[in-house]
């Protein structure tokens, strides 16, 4: 059962006052609020509604008593069948358009915009054709900014639309033939006042182009106000249906209906769908409580019919502007944190309130747009060198505060000594146990690849033992090398006792016993036998080797 609350009784009845405060708190706590409005929210702006005693229907019947039977007939699509009713329609619309141009948005329009700015408005649906929601900043379906430039199925950008205009917009005209859409200008209003319809520029240009190439001319359509009449389909009906389905899936938590009698069949279906979605999304604790939830609120001077008894929770009888002002007042008292304004410094150092972040972004984007080319030219240039701060400069003046990360000097190398990782950091500490640089030599630089200098006998070190000194005089060969008897040459064999020939015999000592090494049998040749004979002959006439003591130098003795 719908509960009715009178705004005038709030001053004397504490129960009504407390209930209205609870409804205001529910609005403040809401996160996905759907707002449905009618012509009643624009009455305070000087724009008449339709069905009241001083509304549009009564005014039309009084002004044209012999032309139309009822005021509703003036907004029926069948009026275009009669030239007289069509002329009356154009004259009436021109007068309504001029009165709307002089009107200003009401507090209810600003209330809807406040819900949107506080991120609480899911979507706004309106029956009004005055377009006052667009003046407060709500993008409508009929706005040129909402038109889609893509080749997809949608004609508008449904995600950006904040206000769905169910009955069109009086500020635009469209062609009855090609559906071309144009803003309603002063020239159009002058023709409408005379009861005439202007020609469509798009159809006219196409027809003239066909005539120029000797083709048959096409029909030139006329322009009419871009509003939806009774028994007429909406040009954006598919897009509005998509928006409606999307909003139902997002599970709204509150529905506010203001300034409409809900007599139109399409609007009745829309309200019932949203009311069902709102009640289904309520918490179990709220549903089980005896107190009726503050979910579906209807604000209007006239009470709803009995068919809305189980759908509307509360009916607030009164003007919409009074109720919206009370909600804003209670909201500020109960939740003051929602109205705190964060101040932000813009690019010029001035304080920007509210939209400071957007101001900074716009300034940054404009700066990049102006200096984009210069920035690309300086992209690969080395960063300017900045002298590091010394202790004297810090002690004499004030200490230099650290810069922000975006303004710090970027070095050309990624591997900084202080900011890089420990594995890539260049250590500046002195290393210990390292050979001095003057004494370092490259591998195989001065020992292997160069010949050693010749030294005299007196300069030789005590431990300088040559291969010749390893042979002892008193050593008798126990196993002398065998010569090849078949050799007929006079050369000595390679097995002889050459100075550079190091064998196991030369490494033996006088007191030791020589152990012969096992060698593979080698088949001697004639050349080898000749070398062996020459070697034996030279060794017989060779001068004996002098022997040096390992402890102290002595004179060489000959044998």
pLDDT at 395 over 90: no
Q: Could you give the maximum distance between any two Cα atoms of the chain, in Å?
A: 164
Q: What is the mean pLDDT of residues 450-460?
A: 54
Domain 1-46+106-167+233-338: top CATH class: alpha beta
Token reading at 147: 């038109």
Binning pLDDT at 50, 70 and 90, where does residue 205 land?
very high
Kind plus residue range of the DSSP H or E element containing 37: strand 33-37
pLDDT at 174 over 50: yes
Mean residue pLDDT of the chain comes to 74
Q: Give the HSE-up count for residue 515: Cα atoms under 13 Å, Cβ half-sphere.
A: 1
pLDDT for res 231: 87
Token reading at 390: 């010394």
DSSP letter assigned to residue 213: T
Task: Report the alpha-carbon angle 266-270-276, nearest 5.
Answer: 145
Higher pLDDT, 468 or 331: 331
Measure the CA–CA gap between 7 and 324, rounded to whole angstroms: 11
pLDDT at 437 over 50: yes
Measure the CA–CA gap between 162 and 226, rounded to whole angstroms: 19
Kind plus residue range of the DSSP H or E element containing 124: strand 121-126
Q: What is the mean pLDDT of residues 426-436?
A: 55
Lowest mean pLDDT, pick from 18-27, 127-136, 164-173, 512-521: 512-521
Q: For 330-364, what is each residue's pLDDT tens digit? A: 999 999 999 987 666 665 656 555 444 444 444 44
pLDDT for res 334: 94
Lowest mean pLDDT, pick from 17-21, 85-89, 414-418, 505-509: 505-509
Measure the CA–CA gap between 499 and 510, rounded to whole angstroms: 19
Measure the CA–CA gap between 509 and 500, rounded to whole angstroms: 18
pLDDT at 401 over 90: no
Exposed, middle or buried, 257 (CB in 10 Å: 0-12/13-18/19+)? buried
pLDDT at 315 over 80: yes
pLDDT at 449 over 60: no
Binning pLDDT at 50, 70 and 90, where does residue 365 land?
low
Token reading at 121: 């408005």
pLDDT at 555 over 80: no
Which CATH fold topology does 48-102+170-227 show?
SIR2/SIRT2 'Small Domain' (3.30.1600)
pLDDT at 284 over 80: no
Binning pLDDT at 50, 70 and 90, where does residue 91 land?
confident
pLDDT at 413 over 80: no
Sign of the torsion angle spanned by Cα atoms 365, 369, 370, 374: positive
Q: 1 CB contacts (<8 Å, ≥6 apart)?
A: 309, 310
Binning pLDDT at 50, 70 and 90, where does residue 136 land?
very high
Residues of CATH 3.30.1600.10 domain(s) within the chain? Answer: 48-102+170-227
* DSSP string for residues in 485-531: TT----SBPTTS--TT---TTTT--SSS---PPP-------HHHHHH
Of residues 109, 110, 167, 188, which has the active-site annotation? 167
Residues of CATH 3.40.50.1220 domain(s) within the chain? Answer: 1-46+106-167+233-338
Strands 314-317 and 3-6: parallel
Local structure of 306: helix, strand or coil: helix
Q: Is 167 a catalytic residue?
A: yes
Q: For 42-53, what is each residue's pLDDT tens digit? A: 988 888 776 667
Q: What is the mean pLDDT of residues 315-324?
A: 95
Edge-to-edge, what's the strand order for the sheet holding 223-227?
181-183, 168-175, 223-227
Nearest to 144 by CA among 153, 154, 136, 134: 134
Q: What is the mean pLDDT of residues 79-88?
A: 87
Q: What is the mean pLDDT of residues 106-130?
A: 95
pLDDT at 554 over 70: no
pLDDT for res 491: 43
CA dihedral 157, 158, 162, 163 (to 10 degrees): 100
Strands 33-37 and 121-126: parallel
Q: What are phi and psi of 455, to 5 degrees?
A: -115, 150
pLDDT for res 358: 44
Binning pLDDT at 50, 70 and 90, where does residue 25 land?
very high
Q: For 226-269, what is each residue's pLDDT tens digit? A: 999 988 999 999 999 999 999 999 999 999 999 998 988 999 99
pLDDT at 394 over 50: no
pLDDT at 68 over 70: no
Strands (E), 15-139: 33-37, 121-126
pLDDT for res 436: 63
pLDDT for res 404: 64
Q: 251 CB contacts (<8 Å, ≥6 apart)?
A: 32, 277, 280, 281
Q: For 175-202, what is each residue's pLDDT tens digit? A: 999 989 999 999 999 999 888 999 999 9
pLDDT for res 167: 94
pLDDT at 309 over 60: yes
């Amino acid at each position: 059962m719908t509960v009715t609350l009178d705004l005038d009784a709030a001053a004397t009845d504490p129960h009504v006052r407390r209930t209205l405060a609870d409804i205001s708190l529910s609005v403040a706590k809401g996160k996905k609020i759907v707002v449905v409005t009618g012509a009643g929210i624009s009455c305070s702006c000087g724009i008449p509604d339709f069905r009241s005693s001083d509304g549009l229907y009564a005014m039309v019947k009084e002004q044209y008593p012999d032309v139309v039977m009822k005021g509703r007939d003036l907004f029926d699509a069948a009026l275009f069948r009669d030239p007289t009713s069509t002329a009356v329609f154009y004259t009436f619309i021109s007068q309504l358009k001029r009165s709307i141009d002089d009107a200003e948005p009401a507090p209810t329009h600003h209330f809807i915009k406040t819900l949107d700015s506080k991120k609480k408005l899911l979507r706004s649906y309106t029956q009004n054709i005055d377009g006052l929601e667009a003046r407060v900043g709500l993008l409508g379906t009929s706005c040129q900014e909402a038109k889609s430039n893509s080749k997809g199925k949608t004609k508008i950008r449904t995600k950006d639309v904040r206000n769905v205009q169910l009955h069109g917009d009086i500020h635009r005209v469209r062609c009855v033939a090609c559906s071309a859409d144009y803003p309603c200008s002063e020239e159009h209003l002058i023709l409408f006042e005379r009861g005439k319809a202007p020609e469509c520029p798009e159809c006219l240009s196409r027809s003239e182009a066909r005539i120029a190439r000797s083709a048959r001319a096409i029909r030139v359509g006329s322009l009419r106000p871009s509003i939806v009449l009774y028994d007429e389909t909406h040009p954006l009906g598919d897009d509005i249906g998509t928006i409606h389905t999307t909003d139902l899936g997002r599970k709204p938590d509150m529905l506010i209906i203001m300034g409409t009698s809900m007599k139109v069949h399409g609007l009745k279906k829309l309200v019932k769908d949203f009311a069902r979605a709102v009640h289904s999304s309520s918490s179990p604790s709220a549903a089980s409580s005896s107190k009726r939830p503050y979910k579906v609120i209807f604000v209007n001077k006239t009470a709803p019919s009995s068919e809305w008894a189980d759908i509307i929770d509360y009916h607030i009888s009164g003007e919409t502007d009074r109720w919206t002002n009370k909600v804003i007042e209670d909201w500020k008292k109960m939740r003051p944190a929602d109205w705190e304004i964060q101040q932000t410094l813009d690019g010029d150092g001035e304080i920007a309130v509210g939209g400071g972040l957007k101001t900074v972004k716009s300034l940054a984007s404009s700066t990049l747009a102006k200096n984009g080319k210069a920035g690309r030219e300086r992209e690969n240039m080395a960063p300017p060198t900045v002298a590091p701060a010394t202790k004297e400069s810090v002690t004499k003046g004030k200490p230099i505060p650290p810069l922000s990360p975006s303004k710090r000097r970027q070095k050309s190398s990624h591997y900084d000594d202080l900011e890089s990782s420990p594995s890539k950091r260049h250590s500046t500490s002195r290393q210990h146990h390292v050979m001095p640089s003057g004494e370092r030599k490259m591998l195989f630089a001065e020992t292997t690849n160069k010949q050693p200098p010749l030294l005299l006998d007196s300069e030789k070190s005590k431990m300088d033992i040559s291969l010749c000194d390893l042979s002892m005089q008193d050593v008798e060969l126990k196993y002398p090398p065998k010569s090849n008897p078949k050799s007929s040459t006079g050369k000595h064999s390679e097995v002889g006792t050459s100075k550079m020939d190091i064998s196991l015999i030369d490494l033996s000592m006088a007191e030791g016993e020589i152990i012969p090494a096992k060698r593979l049998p080698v088949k001697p040749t004639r050349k080898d036998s000749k070398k062996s004979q020459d070697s034996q002959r030279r060794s017989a006439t060779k001068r004996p080797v002098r022997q040096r003591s390992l402890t102290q130098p002595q004179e060489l003795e000959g044998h």
